[in-house]
Amino acid sequence: MMKMNKLSSGQIKKIYASAKELQLDNDLLHTFIFNIVGREHISELTSYEANQVIDELEYKKTGVRKQPYRSNMATDDQIYKIHALERELGWSDNPKRLKGFMRKYCKTDNEKWLTFDKASNLIEALKKVIAREERKVAAQN
């Protein structure tokens, strides 16, 4: 069983300070927390849940979501391009086709685990499949 770390006093202070900046009273703050993590009391939060609440409060203040750290991972643009090519190939109705292709050529079936280089190679491989299909159609005509 995984041990859950209790939230720190710094996290508690950050939650209350952010709530004050947003002019949330105690009841609204507790409702906000319940909607985010499903807990009624701040004292029940784990460290991870407190971070989720803090991130949401910061988002409410700034309008900017915190981006997860993804060193050397595929960019959002690459993942978007992969799915665009999937649609172009007509594979979007059967997600197992792309997963199988990724498993064969990238050794993973989840785009979240693609590195930048593997995503680039996957995009090029999908482009080659499209070109091959276009040549096949042109040869039949």
pLDDT score of 134? 93
Among 18, 7, 87, residue whose Cα is nearest residue 57: 18
Report H helices in the chain.
9-21, 26-37, 47-62, 76-89, 95-106, 116-140
pLDDT score of 48? 87
SS3 46: strand
pLDDT score of 1? 40
CB 47 within 8 A of CB 5: yes
pLDDT score of 18? 93
Q: Say what the pTM is.
A: 0.51
pLDDT score of 2? 46
In single-letter form, the type of residue at position 20 comes to K
CA distance 68 to 66: 6
User: Which stretches in the chain have pLDDT values below 70?
Assistant: 1-4, 67-71
